[in-house]
Every structure is written in structure tokens, then in C-alpha cells.
């Protein structure tokens, strides 16, 4: 019986080999299983690995024992992240002095996100154990494509890491951003699972680039003259760059570095404080983020707005005035088109409940009644109507925005789409022309798809006439 069961095991699976050994340690097949596990781990003869049978199946329900951590550490000494200067840091001051290429992302995040060294060692050992399982399935001199394929299989199929439901993550996005929480729950938002992926990639020598479209992050692996995109919110599938080139993107997608990724975790944390109304805590989180994102205009703008709503109005105004690439909400504040109460209304939290949408809409209407030139307020009122499935009212508010500023490609696209849905194709074309004129060198997929749809109903007008 043991022989038949042993033959049915996956020859590259460490958990199966250890499970068989744990069940039948005294049998011949049980001994063969531990020999197989040793070979998969490339374990030296002087390293006892039998204690890992408990560790590999307990993850992540309980902390590792000291002897388990010691064994994993011995087995992981050859992992390439050990060569990084950042692997040896003990204090945040040391982290700040490192070049981004020298950072061990897992060590850096755990240094900032755990309370004690013992806890840090536990998570680092778990990451090492995960990396060793990935490597156990890879051939010698594995290609980048093979590494990506196995990483995706391991993280999303075997370990079953998942993106949380919107109703959960929207309230506590920081919980699903920080690496320890992501590892504990096997649930993470795009940034959370991406940091896990990057931490493992550093351990298996998989070079990755980090890309951040507005409000999102994904990673890609350069392979010759092409790239493999890895969408961590969709189990690692390869989605083309065109998918990410939306109307929110005002320039080409830019790579980020490891230091910037660290800063982004603080930005996510600050967003929770904003929604809670804990503005001083938001300021503290953004100030931490700026240490790692010193030249990022978006983060600096959020810090400036946080200063304003927390009572440091002049400090916030000074910071906003120093930013060249300021968004329209920052511009509108500096021009007196909205006050701090309007900023608070703009950032109000909305979930899937109708009541929350109506509450934000009501507050925003009060703001734009007092500040009718507040463009972001007008846009958000329209968005609320769209969320309520009331397109006629959404068009009304979008047109108010259009009358103030016809150079926002996203607003013009919304108007084109809504007019097309109402079969007003002439006006749909006019708004689409406006959108095209203001996207510069970009070619967003959504715009091209709408253009093709409109052409089926009404030929494209000659010239570049807009509204």
C-alpha cells in the first residue's frame, strides 16, 4: 500500500514528500520521501530537515519554532537576496541610506511593519520556505518564463492568494497592503500581493519591473524584446500594456523602484485615515511615504491636502504651490475654488451601499452650490449619479464641468459614451473629438473601442470639430 501511494506523489512537491514522511516515517517509502525532500531542497547532508514536515503544513496558522527557523535559514543561504546590502539592515536609518537596487524588500517592509525581531525572523523564514518550494519545481538554469509560470502556479493555485472583496478592502486597505497581514490571510490588494511576489522574486533571481498606473500597481518581466505582464489581482495573468493605458494616464507608464514601493504602503495606510477623518494620522503616514517618494508629485499633493484639512493650511498651501504637476483638485484649492470642507467631502468613503453614495452626493452638492467652479466636485457628483444608474443627471453635471473646462479627456469621454448610449451620435462624436484632442500621444483602448462603436452608427465626421 505504501509503495503505490508513494508512486502517486508529485515528484516535485515538497509538501507531499514531507506529508508522506510524517505519516510513514519508519517505512522504506517514508525514508525515500525524506530523501526526495532533501534533494528538492538541495540540503547538505549535515542539515537535518525532518523538522520541516511540521513547518511546511502549518503555514500560516502558527509561528515557526526556533529550530525550524534555523533549519530554513541554513537551507536558504544560497538565495540571491542574501547578497543584497539590505538583507542585513536592522534600523530604518540604514534602509534610507540604501540605493533602491540594494534593498531586500521583505526585510525592509518587515522592519517597518512588525513589532519585534522575532516576528520579523518568522516571516522571513516563511518567505524563504516559499521560495524553496518554487525552486524545487524549476529546472536547472530556469528561464524567466519558467520562473514566472511557476511563481503564478505556486502563489495563486497552491497557496491560493486572492484579491479581497471590495466591501472588505475598501474599508481597511492597509490591512491588505502590509506584507505580514497578506501572508497571514492569503488575501491582498494589488500592492499587497505585488510586494509578496517581489519578495519571492528577489529570492529566485527573477528580474521584475514595477509599474503604477493611477490607483494600481502591476509587475512585468522583461524577456528579450518583449515583456510578460503579471496582474496580481487576476492570478498573475499576462494583460497587455494597452489595458493599463486608460484615460486616467496622462503620460507613458513609468517604472518604479523598491524604495518607492515602500512609500506606497504608507500612502495606502494614509488613505484609510483620510476616510476615517483621522487627518493628523494621515499627515504622519504621508510624511513617512515622502521619505521613500520624495519627488512623487501625487504623494506630495496628498500630503499638502492633508496639511490643509488637519489645520495646517499655510503649510499645505506652500507645499501645493511648489508642485509643478498639480492635479485639478490641488489647483482648484489654490485658486480659491474650494475650501478644506470641500476637500473632505471629495475624499468621503463610498462603498457598495446606496446610502453611502447618496450621503457623499448630498455633501458634494452642498459644496458645489457654494463653490460652483470646483471641477472635481462636479465630476464626483456626476460619478455618484452613474453609480446610482441615473445617466441623465450624470450628463447634466458633466456638462457643467465641460462648460468650465473642455480639456479633460476623461470627462469628454464620459460625455461621448453617455450620448452614444442615448443614440445621440452626433454629439457623441463631438465629445469624442474633444477627448482625442486632449490625450496627447496616448491611444487608450476605451477611446478606440468607442470610436469603432460610433462608426457603426454614424460615419466619423471629417476634421477635428468638437463641442
Distance CA 357, CA 114 (A): 36
- Mean pLDDT, the chain, whole residue set: 90
Contact 448, 413 (CB under 8 A): no
Per-residue confidence (pLDDT) for residue 301, from 0 to 100 = 97
pLDDT tens per residue across span 430-449: 999 998 888 866 667 888 88
Q: Using a pLDDT cut of 90, give the percent of the chain over it.
A: 70
Take residue 158 and report the three cell numbers written for it.
497552491
Residues facing residue 219 across a β-bridge: 210, 230
Residues 6+ apart with CB under 8 A from 250: 440, 442
DSSP string, 179-192: HHHHHHHTB--HHH
In the 8-state DSSP scheme, what is residue 154? Answer: I
- Helical ranges in 204-310 per DSSP H: 241-244, 258-276, 279-292, 297-309
pLDDT tens per residue across span 197-236: 999 999 999 999 999 988 889 999 999 888 999 999 999 9
Residues facing residue 255 across a β-bridge: 211
Whether residue 169 has pLDDT greater than 60: no
Higher per-residue pLDDT: 171 or 265: 265
**Helix or strand (DSSP H, E) at 255:** strand 255-256
Distance CA 414, CA 368 (A): 20
**pLDDT tier, 158 (very low <50, low <70, confident <90, very high otherwise):** very high
Per-residue confidence (pLDDT) for residue 1, from 0 to 100 = 65
pLDDT tens per residue across span 342-387: 999 998 888 778 898 999 999 999 999 999 999 999 999 999 999 9
- Helical ranges in 64-158 per DSSP H: 66-75, 92-97, 105-113, 117-136, 144-152
Q: Is 135 exposed, middle or buried (0-12, 13-18, 19+ CB in 10 A)?
A: buried
Distance CA 260, CA 431 (A): 37
Take residue 404 and report the three cell numbers written for it.
468650465
pTM of the model: 0.90
What distance, in Å, lies between the first and last C-alpha atoms of the chain? Answer: 79
In the 8-state DSSP scheme, what is residue 286? Answer: H
Pairing of strands 209-211, 218-223: antiparallel
Identify the weakest region by mean pLDDT among 32-41, 197-206, 417-426, 457-466. 457-466
Amino acid at each position: 500500500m505504501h509503495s503505490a501511494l508513494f508512486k502517486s506523489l508529485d515528484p516535485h512537491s515538497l509538501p507531499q514528500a514531507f506529508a508522506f514522511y510524517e505519516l510513514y516515517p519508519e517505512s522504506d517509502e517514508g525514508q525515500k520521501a525524506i530523501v526526495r525532500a532533501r534533494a528538492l531542497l538541495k540540503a547538505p547532508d549535515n542539515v537535518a530537515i525532518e523538522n520541516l514536515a511540521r513547518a511546511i503544513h502549518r503555514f500560516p496558522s502558527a509561528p515557526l519554532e526556533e529550530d525550524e527557523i534555523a533549519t530554513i535559514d541554513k537551507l536558504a543561504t544560497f538565495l540571491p537576496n542574501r547578497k543584497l546590502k539590505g538583507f542585513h539592515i536592522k534600523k530604518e536609518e540604514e534602509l534610507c541610506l540604501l540605493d533602491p537596487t540594494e534593498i531586500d524588500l521583505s526585510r525592509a517592509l518587515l522592519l517597518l511593519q512588525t513589532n519585534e525581531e522575532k516576528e520579523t525572523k518568522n516571516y522571513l523564514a516563511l518567505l524563504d520556505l516559499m521560495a524553496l518550494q518554487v525552486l524545487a519545481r524549476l529546472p536547472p538554469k530556469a528561464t524567466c518564463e519558467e520562473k514566472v509560470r511557476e511563481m503564478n502556479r505556486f502563489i495563486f493555485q497552491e497557496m491560493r492568494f486572492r484579491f479581497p472583496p471590495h466591501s472588505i478592502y475598501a474599508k481597511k486597505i492597509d490591512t491588505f497592503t502590509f506584507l505580514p497581514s497578506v501572508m497571514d490571510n492569503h488575501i491582498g490588494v494589488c500592492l499587497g500581493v505585488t510586494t509578496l511576489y517581489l519578495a519571492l522574486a528577489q529570492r529566485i533571481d527573477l528580474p521584475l519591473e514595477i509599474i503604477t498606473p493611477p490607483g494600481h500597481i502591476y509587475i512585468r518581466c522583461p524577456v528579450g524584446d518583449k515583456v510578460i505582464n503579471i496582474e496580481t489581482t487576476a492570478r498573475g495573468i499576462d494583460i497587455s500594456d494597452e489595458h493599463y493605458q486608460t484615460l486616467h494616464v496622462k503620460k507613458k507608464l513609468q517604472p518604479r523602484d523598491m524604495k518607492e514601493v515602500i512609500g506606497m504602503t504608507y500612502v495606502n495606510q494614509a488613505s484609510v485615515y483620510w476616510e476615517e477623518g483621522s487627518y493628523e494620522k494621515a499627515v504622519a503616514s504621508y510624511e513617512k511615504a515622502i521619505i521613500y517618494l520624495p519627488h512623487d508629485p501625487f504623494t506630495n499633493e496628498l500630503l499638502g491636502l492633508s496639511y490643509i484639512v488637519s489645520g495646517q493650511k499655510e503649510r499645505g498651501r506652500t507645499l501645493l504651490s511648489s508642485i509643478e504637476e498639480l492635479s485639478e483638485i490641488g489647483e482648484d484649492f489654490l485658486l480659491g475654488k474650494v475650501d478644506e470642507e470641500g476637500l473632505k467631502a471629495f475624499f468621503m468613503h463610498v462603498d457598495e451601499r446606496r446610502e453611502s453614495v447618496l450621503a457623499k452626493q448630498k455633501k458634494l452638492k452642498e459644496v458645489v452650490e457654494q463653490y460652483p467652479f470646483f471641477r472635481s466636485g462636479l465630476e464626483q457628483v456626476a460619478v455618484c449619479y452613474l453609480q446610482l444608474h441615473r445617466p441623465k443627471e450624470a450628463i447634466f453635471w458633466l456638462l457643467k464641468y465641460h462648460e468650465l473646462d473642455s480639456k479633460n479627456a476623461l470627462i469628454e469621454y464620459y460625455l461621448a459614451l453617455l450620448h452614444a448610449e442615448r443614440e445621440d451620435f452626433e454629439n457623441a462624436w463631438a465629445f469624442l473629438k474633444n477627448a482625442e484632442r486632449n490625450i496627447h500621444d496616448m491611444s487608450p483602448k476605451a477611446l478606440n473601442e468607442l470610436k469603432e462603436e460610433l462608426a457603426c452608427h454614424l460615419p466619423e465626421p471629417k476634421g477635428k470639430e468638437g463641442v
